[in-house]
Structure 1
Amino acid sequence: MPYEWTTPDGPDGPKAELHLWPYRSLLRRDFVIFISLTAALVLVPLMAVIGSPVLWGILPFILLMLAGIWWGLSRSYKDGEIVEELRLWPDRIELDRHDRKSGHRTWAANPYWVQVKMRQDGPVPNYVTLKGEGREVEIGAFLSEEERAALYDELLGRLARLAATPGEAP
C-alpha cells in the first residue's frame, strides 16, 4: 500500500499520522536500466549500417526517440511528487498536501465534526473526501480504487476510535 499509519511519540504530538504517496512501479534505479536497455536494443540494428550515409539519416530519429522516453518518464516522476500527511489529535485533524504543481496546502478541522465521504460521482471511482470547517477536501485521489476503499474504512475507524477514547492513540 502506498500509505502508512504511524503513532508519533510525545505527549503534545498527534495521536496518529497517515502518510500517502503515489505508487511507483518503476524505481529510479530501474529507470536507468530501462533507458540503457532500450538504447542498446535500438542501436543493435544500426550495426548493419555503420559507415554508410543511412546511419546519419536514422540516428537523429533514434536519439530523438530516446530523448522523448527520457523526458516522458522524468516528467512522470516529477508530476508524481505528491505527499499527503494526515495528523489526528483529540481536538484537531490536519491534512497537509505537498504537491509540485500547486505547492503546499493545509486543511484543519475539529475531528468531532469531520465527515468522511466516499463518492462514486467524483473524478475517480471511490473518491474519498473529508468535510469540515465549511470545506471539503480530497484525500488519496492518486490511490487505486481498492486502496481508496480501504483508506475510507480505515479513516472511519480511526475517527470513531478517536471520538470514543480521546486520550489514547486511535
Structure 2
Amino acid sequence: MPYKWTSPPQDTPQTMVLWPHNSLPARGMASFVLATFTMITIPVLGLLGSPILWGMLPFTLAAVWGMYWALQRNHKSRQINEELVLDDTMAHLRRTNPNGDVQEWDCDRYWTQVTKYDSEGPVPHYVTLRGKGREVEIGAFLSEEERIALFDDLQRALRR
C-alpha cells in the first residue's frame, strides 16, 4: 500500500507517509524504451542503403523520443509526498508537490475531523482533514480501496 505508519501506533508522535504508486521504475522505463526502439528499428533495417531511410528516420526517432518524454513527464508528475504527524496535541500535514512547492496544514488534534466524500469529491471516496477553519485533502492520488483503508486508519489514529 502506498502509505505507511513509520512509527508504532502506541508511540507519539505517530507519522504517516503517503506516496503515489509508481508501477514503472526507472530501470523498467529504460528497458521499455530500448525494446520499443529495437522493435521500431527492425522494419527500418530493410531500408538501409535506400534514400527512403532518411525520410523515415526522423519520424522513427521522433516516436521514440516522444514516448521517452511522456514517460519522463509522468514520472516527474508522480513525485508527490505527503507526511502526516500526529503528536499528543497537534496534527500536522506536509505535502511536497512535484515542482518542489511545500504546502502545510496543522490543527489541534482534538478538533481534527476526517471526512470521506463517497461521490461528492473530485475522486470517489475523497478523504479530507478538517480543522482550524480549513479542509485539506489527503491521499487523493491513492486508489479507491486505498482511500477507504486510509479513512479507517485515520479515524482510528485520531481517536487515540
TM-score category (smaller protein):
over 0.9
Q: CA deviation at 1:47?
A: 1.1
Deviations 1:37-95 (A, max 9, x none): 00001101111111101111111001001110011000011111100000000100000
Superposition CA RMSD, Å: 1.3
Unaligned 5+ segments in structure 2 are none
Q: Select the residue among 57, 63, 66 that pairs with 1:65.
A: 63
Do residues 4 (structure 1) and 4 (structure 2) align? yes
Q: CA deviation at 1:101?
A: 3.6
Secondary structure at the aligned position of 1:75 is classed as helix
Q: CA deviation at 1:102?
A: 6.6
Secondary structure at the aligned position of 2:110 is classed as coil
Distance 1:3 1:116 in 2: 17
Partner of 2:38: 40
Partner of 2:95: 97
Q: Percent of aligned positions with the same letter in both sequences?
A: 46
Partner of 2:123: 124
Paired amino acid for 2:138:
I
Greater shift after overlay, 73-82 or 98-107?
Answer: 98-107
Deviations 1:73-125 (A, max 9, x none): 00011111100000000100000000024700110001110110000211100
Paired amino acid for 1:128:
V
- For normalisation by structure 2, the TM-score amounts to 0.95
Paired amino acid for 2:97:
D
Paired amino acid for 1:5:
W
| Residue correspondence of structure 1 range 89-168 to structure 2 within 5 A | 89-101=87-99, 103-119=101-117, 120-161=119-160
Unaligned 5+ segments in structure 1 are 162-170
Deviations 1:24-46 (A, max 9, x none): 01000101000000000110111
- For normalisation by structure 1, the TM-score amounts to 0.89
Q: CA deviation at 1:15?
A: 2.1
Secondary structure at the aligned position of 2:109 is classed as coil
Distance 1:123 1:16 in 2: 28
Ranges of 4+ aligned residues in structure 1 off by more than 2 Å: none
Partner of 1:53: 51
- The size of the alignment, in residue pairs, is 157
